[in-house]
Amino acid sequence: SMYLMLGFWGGFAGAMLSLLIRMHLMHSSGLLITGNLYNAVVTAHAFLMIFFMVMPVLIGGSGNWMVALMLPAPDLGLPRMNNLSFWLVPHSLVFLLVSTMTDSAVGTGWTMYPPLSSIEGHYSPCVDMAVFSLHMSGAASIFASINFITTIKHARGPRKTIASLPLFVAAIGVTSFLLLLSVP
């Protein structure tokens, strides 16, 4: 339930940034947002929608409820790791929002890393806070993936194979496995 509330809040903040981007694009003169601030808003919007709306709602919220119900398991395999995974996400969100308000704000268009963009570099701690925010949300994703994989492996029946699991549970298992391969 907490994941769903966090996802709602992240989605609301992302929608506000989306409205700001649309308002900026409606005015050809660019009076609303100037300079690097537009790039920072685009970058923050992308991170908010992916890491703080889609992942907490679809994987965290729905996965926590549905995997345990469909297996049938009383709870996820490692409930304390689930708590740790959840409580890293709001702090990561705060670091991301603070990084957008710090000095020139992080964001260089479609990438936040200055060497990959036309900007020479950022001279403020905004990039450090944004990168730390992504590392915290990545750690939360790793903890959640370990928890899902452990639950799916140990909570199913003795003769139940992966192929006989409900499709949602198998999809969460495959997604968690792929996330473990890609995040580190």
Mean pLDDT per 10-residue segment, the chain (184 residues): 83 88 77 70 80 80 79 76 83 83 64 52 72 85 86 79 84 88 76
Say if CB 99 and CB 127 are below 8 A apart.
Answer: yes
pTM attached to this predicted model = 0.74
Distance, in Å, from the CA atom of 182 to the CA atom of 161, rounded to the nearest integer, reads: 25
Domain assignment of residue 77, given as a range: 2-182
Residue 108 has a pLDDT of: 56
Distance, in Å, from the CA atom of 151 to the CA atom of 75, rounded to the nearest integer, reads: 8
Residue 111 has a pLDDT of: 53
Contacts (Cβ under 8 Å, ≥6 apart) of 182: none
Number of domains in the chain: 1
Mapped onto helix, strand or coil, the DSSP state of residue 20 is: helix
Distance, in Å, from the CA atom of 77 to the CA atom of 171, rounded to the nearest integer, reads: 17
Residue 30 has a pLDDT of: 62
End-to-end CA distance of the chain: 27
